[in-house]
Amino acid sequence: MEKTLRLLVIDDDDVDRMALRRSLQRSGLQFELHESNTPDAGVQLLVSELFDCAFLDYRFPTCDGLSLVSQLRESGVQTPLIVLTGQGSEETAVNLMKAGASDYLSKANLSGETLVRAIHSAIRVHRAECEAILANQKLRETNELLKQQNHELEHQREQIQQQNLQLTEVSRLKSEFLATMSHELRTPLNAIIGFSQILMRQLKNSGSDRQNDMLSRIFTNGQHLLDLINEILDLSKIESGRLDLRSESLNLEELIVTTVKSLQSLSEQKHLDLKIEIELQNPIIVNDCNRLRQILVNLLSNAIKFTDAGYVRVTAHDVTGDIIEIAVEDTGIGIEPQHIAHIFDAFHQVDQSVARSHQGTGLGLAITNLLLEMMKGKISVDSQIGQGSCFRLQIPRQI
Ligand code: ADP
């Protein structure tokens, strides 16, 4: 069923009001018409009550329709307003619409049909306007919310940046502390190692077996501790950016051969075959000799340490004119796939147990990786449990 419309007419002319009422009755609309014969009473009604549509006369003794429409809109009345005139010009119509009128009808042709069309169109436009206002308001609210969230994100970003700065500073202090401590520890440790060596030499023939055994333990444990301290020192130096590479021209083939030879005794103790295969166009490269040797020693001693039978092989060949690949391959215990991603992390060891059978610090590969980064090189590993591992490193001919 159609809704009964609440309509209001503000007109000081009784006859005009009656004419409107009659036309409305003839239109077939369901309505309830309220009447007001002065502008003031009409304004009061519109301010205090809700109407679906209001008709305003254009001419009152005290004011005209234009100022009445303006007054109503200024006081917040949103009801659709249709202005009824005797005879009006187009200019009047434009001004009325600008002031906020919904429509404009001439009293001369107030047929039921014209009224229905005008009322329905004014109500439709009014609804659309209300919806647009609501949508606009929601948009503003969402905008406001987004602005707020943006503000919070910005705040969080600043906090993270601040925390990052603090972390960098803490990390720098940690590296500095480690570097200082390692340095301080090395001096007394070198004395212990040196004096134990002198004593070993002096007591070689005169000392008891027990004395010699104790001295040899002091020496090897001291040496092990020194290795550990040196590795920590290296790591902290690299991390704090205080380690510089000293590039020099060197013979890579010679470096590989002498490094392998220095570890020969270790592989012989385990009856491992230690092989070298070098196929380089030119063995002369530019790199930091000591750091490259350190990398080779790390990889080779790991290969020997984690291999109980078979061989350890070092190969070197050209990948391109500028890149050389060195591989250290073993037939040892291998590394499980889930550990491979972490073996280059500092202090990561596959076997973390106290009772592990292989000694080590878990720093060798971390240092190797960082040194290679500094050399603009890279390292990768292939490994199969029980079959062996192959560490491949690629370095530029010239760093
Ligand atoms: P570590 O001092 O323990 O040798 P590294 O950083 O050199 O420390 O190596 C980290 C870990 O990676 C080792 O503890 C070992 O578990 C694994 N690993 C490294 N090289 C090999 C290898 N050739 N064969 C098997 N496991 C290896």
Q: Specify the residue with its C-alpha closest to ligand 1, atom 13.
A: 349
Task: Please tell me the distance from the alpha carbon of residue 266 to that of residue 270, in angstroms, as a whole number.
Answer: 7
Bigger pLDDT: 2 vs 129: 129
For residues 251 and 316, give the distance between their C-alpha atoms in angstroms, rounded to a whole number.
Answer: 12
Rounded to 10°, the helix 252-262/289-305 angle is: 40
Residue reference for tokens 């006081």: 75
CA of 174 to the centre of ligand 1 (A): 25
In angstroms, what is the span from residue 360 Cα to ligand 1's centroid? 8
CB 51 within 8 A of CB 24: no
State residue 207's pLDDT score.
81
> pLDDT of 144-168, one tens digit each?
999 999 999 999 999 999 999 999 8
pLDDT at 356: 60
What was the pLDDT predicted at 50? Answer: 94
Q: Encoding tokens for residue 88?
A: 């009006």
**How far apart are the C-alpha atoms of 35 and 18, rounded to whole Å?**
10
Q: What is the pLDDT of residue 174?
A: 81
Residues 6 or more apart whose Cβ sits within 8 Å of residue 32: 4, 5, 6, 7
Quote the distance between the C-alpha of residue 339 and its chain's center. 26
Tell me the CA–centroid distance for residue 271 and ligand 1, in Å.
20
CA of 362 to the centre of ligand 1 (A): 7
Lowest mean pLDDT among 21-35, 236-250, 291-305, 366-380: 236-250
Question: Which tokens go with 201?
Answer: 């030499």
- Predicted local confidence at residue 231, as pLDDT: 87
Residues having CB closer than 6 A to ligand 1 are: 298, 302-303, 306, 330, 332-333, 335, 343, 348-351, 360-366, 389
Banded pLDDT at 368 (limits 50, 70, 90): very high
Look at residue 73 in the predicted model and tell me its pLDDT.
94
Cα torsion 65, 70, 74, 75 to 10°: value is 0
Q: What are 180-213's pLDDT values in tens digits?
A: 887 888 889 999 999 999 999 998 888 888 999 9
* 310 within 8 A of 332, measured Cβ to Cβ: yes
Judge whether residue 357 has pLDDT over 70.
no
Which of 335, 357, 381 should be mutated for ligand 1, with most atoms under 8 A from CB? Answer: 335
Mutate which of 306, 330, 357, 392 to test ligand 1's pocket (most atoms within 8 Å of Cβ)? Answer: 306
- State the pLDDT at residue 155: 96
pLDDT of residue 206: 87
Q: How far is the CA of 312 from the centre of ligand 1 (A)?
A: 15
pLDDT above 70 for 297: yes
Cβ 27 vs Cβ 20: under 8 Å: no
- What whole-number distance in Å separates Cα of residue 114 and Cα of residue 120? 10
Looking up tokens 């301290």, which residue turns up? 229
Residue type, 261: K
pLDDT class for 122, splitting at 50, 70, 90?
very high
Question: Residue 352: its pLDDT value, please?
Answer: 64
If you measure from the C-alpha of residue 379 to the centroid of ligand 1, how many angstroms do you get, rounded to a whole number? 14
Q: How far is the centre of ligand 1, averaged over its atoms, from the C-alpha of 265 (Å)?
A: 20
Name the residue of 274, 330, 357, 365 whose CB sits within 8 Å of the most ligand 1 atoms, as the mutation to test its pocket. 365
Predicted structure pTM score: 0.59
More confident residue, 330 or 242: 330
